[in-house]
Amino acid sequence: MIGAQLFFYLADEGGNALDVNLNAHKGSLLASGSRSDIGDWQLHLKSMDDVELHYCGFYTLNFHNLSDLVEENLASRIKKHGLQLSDSSVDSPNVLVFQIIGGFPFTTDIVLISGTSSESSRIEERVNYLTDSESITVGKAAIGNLLGGIGYFYGQSKIALPRIPDLKEQVDILSYWPAELYTAVPSRPGFPRGFLWDEGFHQLLIWRWDIHISLDIIGHWLDLMNIDGWIPREQILGAEALSRVPEEYVPQHPTNGNPPTLLLALSDIVSGLKDNKFTAMDRNDISLFLNHAFVRLEAWFQWFNTTQSVMFFEIVTSKDNTLSSGLDDYPRASHPSNDERHLDIRCWMFLAADCINSIEDLLNKETKPDKNYGSTAKLLSDLDLLNQIHFDDAYGAYFDFGNHTEKVELKWREVDVGHNNTTWELVRVFLEKPELRFVPHIGYVSLFPFIARIIPPESWILEKQLELISNSSLFWTNYGLRSLAKTREWAISGHSQSSVHRIEKQFNQFQGEHKESLYWGTYRPQVYLGIRARTPQSLIAGLMWINERDNKYQLRHVCKHEDELSTYGWTKHNGRDFGHQVLADHAMILTTVFLKSKGAGSGYGGDWAVRIDGQIDK
């Protein structure tokens, strides 16, 4: 029989005792307990398939290494019982581990039922609000995955301060203040920590699910701001988060900051207020939050406006990546210089100024002469000024500007590593001198003026951008947009050998925004106008429009029932096959769905269910 052994654990970080049910093999009840926040609760397991169940119980406050405890338990019995948990527990355990053994195919439901009297969170109604009826199943999967990735972290960030200004090789590592963070994470198993870049995109969906959860998360991030207005872009807090990050990547640099994506969500929320999408109580809560947060938002904007004033993202020269931009390996100018201008940061600053201006208007705050966000937004959205620096008439596309050459090769060179030892490394060799010019790579960055809606509807440039997007030789695929046009042969992304074969075949989803009352040039309504955000968790991902001249329909693939997608969601694919998660063992596919179903509105506790499906990968 071909099958799998799965280990599912339940842990109470508060140290509360968990009661295991001694008849777990005969009934559905596995465990029970009580907490002050959710009251009495029960954990149930239901399966129509023939599955075997074992368990063990521990008491520990170190939750990042539970696998070590499980391995010790298995090792103590492996000679007599094989790979099987002990079916025993310490007194008053706060961790229970359950072993599920099943032959393919099998389905197991694990359900937590709390004893609180909170009202139902109206799952079906809320999911229907966020997606259409044909996408309800995958909608639950995507929403459940995102909500299931929300966690609480506590610890101290490590900060790298240069001993000599502008000399980053010599730094002192200091500890940030002890801080807590309530946040979603991009990947529970791979990246169990907060990312400032990701969180703004997470909140585009989360605020629509529960505005109070969203405001709580945004508030936690803003509370991490220092006196200069800087927020560490990666929050590696606690032992579990630290255990997943190589030591050299732990320290955060106060000169580096991610784009202010949280302002995308706040701008969206302000638009929701104007469109009367909230109850009177929620409107009051949002206004109070924005009023309290405003001083931090101003400080954040001023930090960007002063430290990033030369309009380019900090480049990590060891790998030629712009990690700060959020588009880590997007090709920039070959020779970094102070003459470099990044198109995306200009657009981010416009979006930030426009958002703060809208909040200022909402709160009826007096505009200060030295902080006129409306004027700043108007300046940064001036199409003539933008085109002077970034628009190439020959291509009809927007580009970065900088000191650049396209004539680059990788060659093996012998490099001295000290102590009379040498090694061979692939290094970049430039075949011509760089010159100040456009960086001719059509990709995500080229679309930022379109994303930011800077291009006016009557401009021919807008129609040109839509033509570029719909061109299958450049951006368009049936599954979303390419991050770089496939016509580019740019395959060198750093000095390391592993970078040599990195071609532009990474595809990410965009969230479309449905507008029924807008006309953009020759493109009619009933379209997904504009690209709001790079958000793998979006429920509507892509563009649809009708071209009046040839009446062609452009519709991206929308995930529906027939896709049979019940995984964590879609994060990347190869442009041909729609994505599903395959474990390292390619002989099987293991998928899970997490769905919160009760008490979500309060932000605490609530019921939830997990479905685990196992099958042979055919």
List own/partner pairs for 472-476 with CB under 8 A and 24 or more apart: 474/442, 475/442, 476/554
Largest Cα separation within the chain, whole Å, is: 79
Residue carrying structure tokens 């529906």: 560
Check residues 402 and 170 and name the one with the higher pLDDT.
402
| 229-238 per-position pLDDT tens digit | 999 999 999 8
Assess contact for 307 and 395: CB atoms under 8 A: no
pLDDT at position 354: 97
3-state secondary structure of 168: strand
pLDDT at position 13: 82
Assess contact for 331 and 402: CB atoms under 8 A: no
Band (pLDDT 50/70/90 cuts) for residue 50 is confident
One DSSP character per residue, 485-543 reads -TT------SSSGGGTT--S--EE-EEEEEESS--BTTB-SSEEEEEEEE-TT-SSBS-
Band (pLDDT 50/70/90 cuts) for residue 139 is confident
Q: How many CB atoms lie within 10 A of CB 448?
A: 21
Alpha helices in 131-261 (DSSP H): 136-148, 196-209, 211-222, 238-243
The residues near 408 (Cβ < 8 Å, ≥ 6 apart) are 334, 428, 429, 430, 431, 492
| CA separation for the pair 35, 448 (Å, rounded) | 48
Check residues 320 and 212 and name the one with the higher pLDDT.
212
Lowest-pLDDT choice from 163-177, 443-457, 463-477? 163-177
- What is the mean pLDDT of the segment spanning 560-580? 37
Model confidence at 80: pLDDT above 70: yes
| CA separation for the pair 6, 40 (Å, rounded) | 27
Q: How many CB atoms lie within 10 A of CB 368?
A: 10
Q: How far is CA 312 from CA 297, 337, 341, 405, 448, in A?
A: 21, 9, 5, 18, 14
pLDDT at position 276: 92
pLDDT at position 179: 93
Pick from 218-222, 272-276, 344-348 the range whose average pLDDT is largest: 218-222
Lowest-pLDDT choice from 210-224, 226-240, 371-385, 571-585? 571-585
The residues near 326 (Cβ < 8 Å, ≥ 6 apart) are 197, 258, 259, 261, 534
Model confidence at 610: pLDDT above 80: no
Considering the chain, what is the average pLDDT of its residues?
75
| 475-530 per-position pLDDT tens digit | 887 767 888 887 654 433 333 333 322 222 222 222 222 222 222 222 222 222 22
List own/partner pairs for 500-504 with CB under 8 A and 24 or more apart: 500/410, 500/426, 502/329, 504/443
DSSP state of 318: T
The 3-state secondary structure of 197-229, one letter per residue: HHHHHHHHHHHHHCHHHHHHHHHHHHCCCCCCC
| CA separation for the pair 150, 187 (Å, rounded) | 10
Model confidence at 28: pLDDT above 50: yes
**364 — alpha (psi -120 to 50), left (phi > 0) or beta?**
left
Structure tokens at 120: 């139902």
Lowest-pLDDT choice from 111-125, 185-199, 395-409? 111-125
- What is the mean pLDDT of the segment spanning 61-81? 86
| 262-318 per-position pLDDT tens digit | 999 999 999 999 999 999 999 999 999 999 999 999 999 999 988 875 556 655 443
Model confidence at 464: pLDDT above 70: yes
Pick from 113-127, 173-187, 308-322, 403-417 the range whose average pLDDT is largest: 173-187
Lowest-pLDDT choice from 99-108, 380-389, 473-482? 473-482
- What is the mean pLDDT of the segment spanning 146-161? 91
What is the pTM (predicted TM-score) of this model?
Answer: 0.66
What one-letter code names the amino acid at 424?
W
Structure tokens at 522: 């020759």
pLDDT at position 225: 96
Check residues 589 and 153 and name the one with the higher pLDDT.
153
